């Protein structure tokens, strides 16, 4: 899994908290799109489907990219 991720040179990784180590290794932002998420707090049930869900997903992606601006990786190559 790690080897495939390194060969793909992703700009973002979509996954769960389990993919945090891979994202750090590659120096790219992680969008926690899948369960389990154990390194963030989620107090509401806000899905990524439907009209509002798509806006929430875009917001999550933009925030992940924004937070990851200081890290090096495929996004800035």
Average pLDDT for the chain: 84
Residue 76 has pLDDT above 70, yes or no: no
At 31-56, the pLDDT tens digits run 988 888 888 887 777 888 898 899 99
Give me the numbers of helices (H) and strands (E) for the chain, helices first please: 3, 2
Which run of H or E residues covers position 31?
strand 30-32
């Amino acid at each position: 899994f790690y080897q495939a991720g390194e060969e793909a040179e992703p700009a973002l990784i979509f996954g769960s908290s389990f993919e945090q180590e891979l994202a750090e290794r590659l120096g790219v932002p992680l969008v926690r799109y899948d369960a389990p998420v154990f390194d963030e707090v989620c107090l509401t049930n806000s899905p990524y489907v439907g009209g509002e869900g798509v806006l929430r997903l875009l917001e999550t992606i933009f925030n992940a990219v924004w937070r990851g601006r200081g890290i090096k990786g495929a996004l800035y190559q």
